[in-house]
Amino acid sequence: MANRVHIDWDAYQAGKKTGLSLGYIEGLKVGIRVIAELKFAPPNAQFLEEIADMNDPGFLEWLLQRMKTASSLREIRALYTPPEELDDPAPPQPH
């Protein structure tokens, strides 16, 4: 007789739901990055870091939709960044 393994179906379903949710969030982030690059040239590291830190699927969906009509990356960042943080007052660092 084959060994039978008990499966906790509640834990399985919870894990599946969590995995699908995380995958959906990551997919939205990829979409935002791709559209940003197609429309505005490769986005800077700060924008990429900001998007990577976001985890609200509703907000990410909304942001992705807003990317369709945005005219600049600054316009997108203004949707979630306080005005005083949009322009970095620090001078560029020499190479």
Q: CA–CA separation, 1 vs 20, rounded Å?
A: 35
Q: State mean pLDDT over 59-77.
A: 94
Residue 89 has pLDDT above 80, yes or no: no
Q: CA–CA separation, 18 vs 24, rounded Å?
A: 10
pLDDT at 83: 84
Both tokens of 50, joined, read 């900001």
pLDDT at 88: 56
